[in-house]
Structure 1
Amino acid sequence: MNQILAINSSISQRLLATIPDLLVNRSDLSDVPVPHLTPDTVAGIRAVATTKDELSAQGLSDDLSAELQEATILVIGAQMYNFSISTTLRSWLDHVLRPRVTFSFSELCPLGLLRGIRAIVIQARGGLYGEGPSKVLDFQEPYLKLLLGFVNADLLAFIKGENLA
């Protein structure tokens, strides 16, 4: 069965019509933000959880990572803030980019553990950053390409809405 995980975005009706067994799991990070990692919670994601706060962070990370691993298509709505992504999207990424769960380390390099997931990123930007002199200020797209590639997601497209301010 095909399944989409949509992070703060809407899905094209055409896509829903072409894949009859498609399930859509929507998560709006503005309505239900993922908490930022803190010194009290980070071990729940990056190490071995032992405290109540670490175990709570690990449980949330387990849930978010499971949603990601079940998806065959990931759609991310990424508005540009200060030339990069929002902190809410960053918190979600901090919880799902997890050693031994979505990536591992080999002797030579990191190894992405996601298989068969395709990513579409819909970008909203106030200015023009895809070309011209402001292109060097675009830390959003390269950053997302790096992180999605890090876990082995295949990038289908970056769709840009620019000059929206």
Structure 2
Amino acid sequence: MTRTVLHIDSSARTEGSVTRDLSAQIVTRLGAADVIHRDLATPLPLLDGAWVGANFTPTDQRSEEQKQLLSLSDTLIEELKKADTIVIGAPIYNFSVPSTLKAWIDLVARVGVTFRYTETGPVGLLEGKRAIIAVASGGTQAGSDIDFATTYLRHVLGFIGITEVEIVAADAMSIDAEGALAKAQDQIKALAA
């Protein structure tokens, strides 16, 4: 039984969004006791030189200003750590993820916090979690050679240790919207709660 879900919406559309609707249905299907909702329609700050400098300063040597620069990142990582399951609503914009979702990824993928480097390569530190990604697209078919959204999300989530990733896709909606939505509904019904 899922205890805590981190529900992330990244569509720029706050109304009429297919991924917002699908991700909400997934959260309902999971029946979590606790849901943390993070809506990226309010954009997160992009990384800059000061943030990168703060991130690479050893924790015990950070100034108050550096700690403040990293505080949002710390909060986002705590949300991830608390969640058993992460549900991400991710429309495919121009073959990839929305810039707001990329900004979230940049803030949570932190060396020594969510992953570490070893002699044999990187190791994710957020193991034992499940991710379900609800995608929608106009013409890009999920999993195709031109889909850089689901492949990227699978990779980056695996990089931080989340390797159980499921995709619910309402893809190529410009070709057959009704069929794409019906397929996604079937995928939601098939999800284990």
Cα RMSD (Å) of the superposition? 1.9
Identity of aligned residues (%): 35
Q: d(CA) in 1 for partners of 2:63 and 2:173?
A: 46
Q: d(CA) in 1 for partners of 2:29 and 2:132?
A: 15
Q: d(CA) in 1 for partners of 2:71 and 2:54?
A: 8
Report matched runs for 1:1-165 at 5 Å.
2-8=3-9, 9-12=23-26, 13-16=28-31, 22-30=33-41, 32-45=42-55, 47-48=56-57, 49-50=62-63, 52=65, 54-130=66-142, 135-165=144-174
Distance 1:50 1:81, change over 3 A: farther
Aligned-pair distance for 1:130?
3.0
Q: d(CA) in 2 for partners of 1:130 and 1:62?
A: 32
> How many residues are paired up?
155
Aligned-pair distance for 1:159?
0.8
Report the TM-score when normalising by structure 1.
0.85
Aligned-pair distance for 1:39?
1.9
SS at match of 1:127: coil
Report the TM-score when normalising by structure 2.
0.74
**Equivalent pair of 1:44/1:56 in contact (CA under 8 Å):** no
User: Bigger shift: 137-146 or 35-44?
Assistant: 35-44
User: Bigger shift: 149-158 or 105-114?
Assistant: 149-158
Aligned-pair distance for 1:10?
1.7
Report the structure, 1 or 2, having the larger helix content.
2
SS at match of 1:35: coil
**Equivalent pair of 1:5/1:73 in contact (CA under 8 Å):** yes
Q: d(CA) in 1 for partners of 2:53 and 2:161?
A: 24
Distance 1:164 1:51, change over 3 A: farther
What letter is aligned with 1:144? L
Hey, what does 2:188 align to over in structure 1?
A: none
Aligned-pair distance for 1:41?
1.9
